[in-house]
Amino acid sequence: MTMTLPYCEPLVPREPGERQIPEPPRRGEPGGPPCGICTGKATKAVWSDENWTLHPPVGGSLPGAVWLASRVHVDSFSDLPEELAADFGRVAARVEKAMLTALDDVARVHLYRWGDGGSHFHVWFLPRPLGMLEASGMMLPLWEDVLPNVPNEELAAAAKRIAAAM
Ligand SMILES: [Zn+2]
């Protein structure tokens, strides 16, 4: 099996809508809602060090999914202080290894950095379930969205197991 959309076909391609320029401000940007991470509205960190905090998601379908945020409010990779930019590789490797250690049946750990919702640097780590080849590549976030959510307690418990393996 190769990567497959989590929808039955035929799907019909559609045209993109009108472009919205300027784009509406994101969370944590001037004119936008406050930053959820800086104001403590995000889920409590399960692990942290002097540069980074690691959080479970809410309302998700993939136990073991976590997101990593910088302690400082900066937007993207190019805004990180040089020391943090260099440290990102080290901490990303630690998160990946902890996920592979703490979770059962993970084929690969996918990283996603979107930045379209909030302007505070954060990167998603999603475990691609072993054998779930249809969720390869860009399909995993779509499958994550379509599969039924598990209780938030289960997402937090999986994140805590990852934290314990960090
Ligand atoms: Zn922030």
* Calpha distance 18→21 (Å, rounded): 9
Closest CA to 122 of 144, 153, 91, 98: 91
- What pLDDT digit, counting tens, does each position of 44-68 carry? 999 999 999 999 999 999 999 999 9
Cα 63 from chain centre: 12
Region 75-103: what's the mean pLDDT? 98
Ligand 1 center to 64 CA (angstroms): 24
Residue 14 Cα to ligand 1 middle (Å): 35
**Rounded distance from Cα 101 to ligand 1 centre (Å):** 30
Residues 6+ apart with CB under 8 A from 34: 27, 28, 41
The CA distance from 113 to 125, in Å, is: 9
Ligand 1 mean position to 69 CA, how many Å? 9
What does the pLDDT average to over 132-161?
A: 97
Using the mean position of ligand 1's atoms as its centre, give its distance from the Cα of residue 77 in Å. 14
Per the prediction, the chain carries an average pLDDT of: 97
Mean pLDDT on 95-106: 98
Ligand 1 midpoint to CA 26 (Å): 11
Residue 2 confidence class, pLDDT cut points 50, 70, 90: confident
Of the candidate ranges 5-9, 15-19, 76-80, 146-150, the one whose mean pLDDT is the lowest = 5-9
Q: Which residues contact 4 (CB under 8 A, 6 or more apart)?
A: 134, 139
